[in-house]
Amino acid sequence: MATPPPDDHTPSFIEQTLARMAEAPAADSTLLARLWFHLRPHANQPLAAARDSLHALIALLEQKPVYIAALRDHLAALFAGKNATRLLTETGLLPYRPFGAELRRRIGYKLLPPEHDPTRLHDWLDALITPRDRAWLAATDPADWTRLCDLLELRQLFRRGEPGVLTNAINSLSHRIATGGLDPELLRIDPELEDYDSPFLALHHEVDAWLRGNAEDTRQIDVLLEQCDDALDRVRRRSKEVGTSVELTQQATRLAQQMARMRSLIALADPATDAPHALLVDLFVELTGAAGERRSLGRLVRDTTGRLARQITEFASQTGEHYVAEGWTALQRMFWGAAGGGVIVASMALLKARVAALHLAPLQEALLVSLNYALGFVLIYLLHLTIATKQPAMTASLFARTLAEVRSQTAQQKLLNEFAGKVWRSQAAALLGNMLLAFATAVVIALALAAAGRAAVDPAKAAHLLAEIDPFRSAALFYAAVAGVGLFLAGIVSGYYDNRCVYHAIPERLLRLRLPPRLIGGERWARVVDYLRPRWGGIAGNLFFGFYLGMIAAFGQLAGLPLDIRHIAFSAANLGYAWQAFDWQLAAPVVLTSVAGVVLIGLVNLTVSFSLAFYVALRATRSSRRDSGQLLLRGLAAILKAPFQWRVARPNPESPP
């Protein structure tokens, strides 16, 4: 379908509005809204039509200076008649309320819109700006807006030294920055902010002196802003060692945003600033872009939890370093670690079948199955064994952290290919170890029980187990994707509790307990705490994953939803039990289908968990959703190609044991 041409009547509508501005009193803000409406492309017009409308407005102003005076007067009346302080100090910045309170407030606004206050400029702007406005503003040339500001001489509207738009906003920001710099969360992470002269307080005093005219230039303000930036950098570096929280993340991010906004406002108010109108255009685009998202739930979650997600993924990536095998010795160690995990999984699969055979109440059965999974996974973790499908959530975070340090496309692709090969080799070794030993252990257990005159599973249960892993006549692959989501969430939980343990100094606080040392002795209790110190996250993640696997099917039954889980190691063990139950008398097509089902279940487990973890980690390190999506696709493509480019790693005698 051909793109419709711009509306030829737009210039005439713009001129009519400018003419009415020249005649009407400047206090009438509806004419400014009307002018904005005519600049905005209509629903059937391309975004480029806004550029033609903006050019038409500039041409009319150049032809008739009376329009310039009229438009400038209306803009001056708008700023004088409506309070703009909150627009300049809050729009586009994180709110002051705690995350939970602000989240509840915004959810409430979705159900019942807030009251509109016509005396506030940010409320007026919220009513004016639409999501389409942000799109066409991004499509216009900033040079055109700068030219418009030059014609209107908007610099004259913002002066230092008298109560006005910028003066009030700068003064308000300096107070807020000084208060935020003394936040207890920041002081706990960086005590130097309290022990020495705080740059945040010094900044407030210097800004106040500059606004009063007692300072000639802004050089000292610039120095203090840099010192404040250094203080926030120290907090971020320390948070990598002592952990972080939503509150700390929110406070540090808000301070950085406020200081950036203060730089912009001071530059606009400073007579010595070059090209002030270009800065004004940048601020205008930022404010209009954020106006429509001031009550957005997604924007709040992204802004508040972005750094926290980055911190959690960094903790997860540290674990991921143990799941990437570099040499032949490391691959062998990976295989045997996964093989040990497969042995325990086979026992867990048999226990699950025995629990199901008891025909307990749904909640009782779900609880016992969950405990079976959770305690089994924790045992595997504490024995330093491996569940292959848990690795991608960790390696994806390591992958994203490594990519964040590289910017060029060529270097990124080279790193993607290298990392994909390492991940494939590591995952292949772990998958084979899990799958082969889970199957072999199940066969050994089934044969041992048969020799004792008992059956691991009866033929009816065996037929049911085979039907569950059939990838063509059941929802096995969908259920494998459900399990993949749980694997991803388990990685997040693990990173979260690693961070929480460090941030809240859990081991140090445990050592201060009085009862455990009395029961087992102080030295033994200290050894227990030291043993658990690096393992809190792993234990929490495995417990979560166990209860996720055990409860998801029960929830599906209670809610009437098609929810269940399929996991490669358990599927391999179930195949071993079922095959032996039929006395090894299975048709070749059934065997091939079952083996294919086990392999496909594993691939879906890996793909879903890796994709989710990789994307979240990329979003935590990169602001662009588009870049994250492209890197995700390129990473998956590189991993899919890796098997065809795989060369068996040669034994390396220098590889670490």
Q: What is the pLDDT of residues 169-208, one digit of tens each?
A: 999 999 999 999 888 888 888 887 776 678 999 999 999 9
Which of 489-493, 556-560, 595-599, 631-635 holds the top average pLDDT? 595-599
- What's the whole-number mean pLDDT along residues 28-36? 86
- The whole-number pLDDT of residue 354 equals 92
- What's the whole-number mean pLDDT along residues 440-450? 94
The answer to whether residue 148 scores a pLDDT higher than 60 is yes
State the Cα–Cα distance between residues 441 and 576, nearest whole angstrom. 8
Q: Say how many residues make up the chain.
A: 657
State the Cα–Cα distance between residues 67 and 51, nearest whole angstrom. 20
Please name the residues in contact with 352: beta carbons below 8 A apart, sequence gap of 6 or more.
369, 372, 373, 570
Q: How many CB atoms lie within 10 A of CB 643?
A: 12
| Residue 311 token pair | 């911190």
- What's the whole-number mean pLDDT along residues 293-302? 72
- What's the whole-number mean pLDDT along residues 20-49? 83
- Express each pLDDT in 496-515 by its tens digit: 888 888 888 888 899 999 99
Numbers of helices and strands, H then E, in the chain: 30, 0
Residue with tokens 């915004």: 106
The answer to whether residue 343 scores a pLDDT higher than 90 is yes
- What's the whole-number mean pLDDT along residues 340-366? 92
State the Cα–Cα distance between residues 28 and 47, nearest whole angstrom. 28
State the Cα–Cα distance between residues 106 and 280, nearest whole angstrom. 29
- Express each pLDDT in 524-560 by its tens digit: 999 999 998 888 888 998 999 999 999 998 898 888 8
For helices 297-320 and 476-503, the axis angle rounded to 10 degrees is 90
- Its pTM stands at 0.73
Kindly state the percentage of the chain with pLDDT values over 70.
85
The answer to whether residue 79 scores a pLDDT higher than 70 is yes
Question: Where do the CATH 1.20.1080.10 domains begin and end in the chain?
Answer: 309-505+537-645
Kindly state the percentage of the chain with pLDDT values over 90.
30
- What's the whole-number mean pLDDT along residues 97-105? 80
The answer to whether residue 6 scores a pLDDT higher than 70 is no
Q: How many CB atoms lie within 10 A of CB 16?
A: 14
Count the alpha carbons within 13 Å of 611 in the hemisphere toward its beta carbon: 16
For residues 462-495, one letter each, b for 16 or more C-beta atoms within 10 angstroms of the residue's C-beta and e for the rest, the string is beebbebbebeebbbbebbbbbbbbbbbbbbbbb
Which of 221-230, 298-307, 467-476 shows the lowest mean pLDDT across its residues?
Answer: 298-307
Which of 517-526, 576-585, 620-629 shows the lowest mean pLDDT across its residues?
Answer: 620-629
- The whole-number pLDDT of residue 318 equals 52
Residue 390: which of 333, 323, 480 has the closest Cα? Answer: 323
- The whole-number pLDDT of residue 621 equals 63
- What's the whole-number mean pLDDT along residues 150-165? 71
- The whole-number pLDDT of residue 43 equals 74
- The whole-number pLDDT of residue 371 equals 96
Superfamily name and number for 309-505+537-645? Glycerol uptake facilitator protein. (1.20.1080.10)
- What's the whole-number mean pLDDT along residues 626-637? 74
State the Cα–Cα distance between residues 141 and 656, nearest whole angstrom. 57
